[in-house]
Each structure stands twice: as structure tokens, then as C-alpha cells.
Amino acid sequence: MRFAPSNWRVVLVRPRNPLNIGAAARAMANFGFNDLALVEPYAAARQEARSAIGGERVMRRAKGFRSLADALAGIRWVLGTTSGQRRTIHGPFLSLDSISEWMGAIPGGGKSALLFGSEKTGLSNEHLSYCHALVRIPTTPEAPSMNLGQAVAVCCFELARLAQSLRASEVAVHVSGSQAPASAQCLEHLFERAVRVLDDVGFLKPKSRQATIVKLRRLLVERSLCNYDARILGGLLAQIEWKLRRH
């Protein structure tokens, strides 16, 4: 399963602070992740890194790499984390809760990687060029960047939550068939994205906006979309939204 912790590699690019490396390892262990890669870590940071209770096993298994390309060997899909500031953004720009929609729309399986940049500079434009999509944690404009260890914790929590949710969905599909209906939560995420796209293209007019939104939600609910249809429509809307915001 794509969101299973065992199917992810957490990659820290040029980490500087040994405490942050240890905190990242602890967070990974908290949510069942164990594949940690360190790309060009500062020598002292790698040597002095320690983890609190629970993360020692992740630290012992952590591997160092001289380049990001080496760290991504064997990886099929790459997600990069960035605040989007002072960077040239290419590819889909996802919120945490839209990762499942995007990955549900891409073909094939394979292991995935989640990239985190240096505490000082984040991921460079070159690093971002390795990414199939970019993820932004919804922080405030006044304080857009997060501590590295905390950012790893937030992302690992969300991926673990998605894995648990999808496992429950797979059980439901096994019981009720491959065309199991999309959940209310799934439809709501789809609805919210559709509203954003319609706002971006100027379809929703101030005087009729609320009435149109009500009709749109009713339309989605009454269509009785299955999980597969919802994933396809979500991926389509995500691509449209990325294209609109890029231009």
C-alpha cells in the first residue's frame, strides 16, 4: 500500500543540527517509519546525532549519501516539502490533506520518498527538480518555516493517518465490491477543491455564490461517486488548480 510507513523513505538534505536529526528519527519511530536517509549532513551533526527513547533503531539504520540522486535510488515517487518562498515551483503544489488524491491519480506503485531541506536554506531549486510534487504544511505567513524535527513529525503523522484510513477503505471495498461509495469525508475534500477551482476561474459570482455552492455539494452527493471515481475527479481538479495557480 502506497501510504504504509514501510513504503516511505524520509530524506533529510544537508541537516545541520544533531538535535533535529534525532528529533526526526524519534518522530518517524512514533508513526512507524524506519527508513531515514541523510544527504550531505554536516559531519558533526551526523556524528553527534542522538535520539530520545523510541528512535534509536531508526538512527542505527539511517544511511548517509553524498548526493540526493544516490539517496533516491530505487525510489519511484518523490514529494518535497517547502514553504514556497523564494523558490521556482514546478509540478503540483499539494496541501497535506490532498496527498492521497494526487497519489491516487498517478499510475503504478513503487516506493516513495519525502524530502526535507536544510534548517537554514530548505530545499534548493535543484533539489526541488527531483520532486514529482511539492507539499506545504499550512503555517501562518508570519512564521512560514517550521523546525525540521517538527515538520517531519507533522508529515509522518499525516501519512500514517492516510494509511490507516485507506486500510479501512480497502476492507470496505473487499466487503462491498470494487465500486464502494466514496465516504462523506472524501466528498467534502473533493467539494472544497472544486470550490477553489471555481473561485480561481471566476465562475462563482458574489450574489449567487452561496446558492451555487449548495447546488454543487448536492450534485456531488447525489451522483453517488465511488472511491475510484472520486480519486480520478480529485486528481483532475488538483491538476487544474496547479495549472491555474502556476499562471
Which sequence spans correspond to the domains of the chain? Answer: 5-164, 178-246
- pTM of the model as a whole: 0.66
Q: From start to end of 170-229, where are the E strands? A: none
pLDDT(231) > 80: yes
> What whole-number distance in Å separates Cα of residue 184 and Cα of residue 103?
19
| Degrees to nearest 5, angle at CA 1 with 69 and 8 | 30
Instruction: List, in order, residues 6 or more apart from 46 with CB less than 8 Å away.
Output: 18, 21, 38, 64
pLDDT of residue 170: 52
pLDDT of residue 38: 95
DSSP letter assigned to residue 226: B
pLDDT tens, 18-50? 889 999 999 999 999 999 999 988 776 666 776
Closest CA to 11 of 59, 72, 55: 72
Q: How confident is the model at residue 177 (pLDDT cuts 50, 70, 90)?
A: very low
pLDDT of residue 176: 46
pLDDT(247) > 80: no
pLDDT(171) > 60: no
> What whole-number distance in Å separates Cα of residue 235 and Cα of residue 130?
21
Quick check: 173 and 227 in contact, CB under 8 A? yes
Q: Topology of domain 178-246, per CATH?
A: Helicase, Ruva Protein; domain 3 (1.10.8)
Q: Left (φ > 0), alpha (ψ -120 to 50) or beta: where does 82 sit?
A: beta
pLDDT(104) > 80: no
Q: Please compute the mean of the pLDDT values over residues 63-75 and round it to a whole number.
A: 90
pLDDT of residue 174: 44
pLDDT of residue 173: 42
Enter the CATH code of domain 5-164.
3.40.1280.10
pLDDT(51) > 80: no
Q: How confident is the model at residue 180 (pLDDT cuts 50, 70, 90)?
A: low
SS3 112: strand
The separation between CA 226 and the C-alpha centre of its own chain, rounded to angstroms, equals 23
Hey, what's the torsion of the CAs at 195, 146, 80, 239, to 10 degrees?
A: 10
The single residue listed with the C-alpha cell 471515481 is 229
C-beta neighbour count of 65 within 10 angstroms: 17
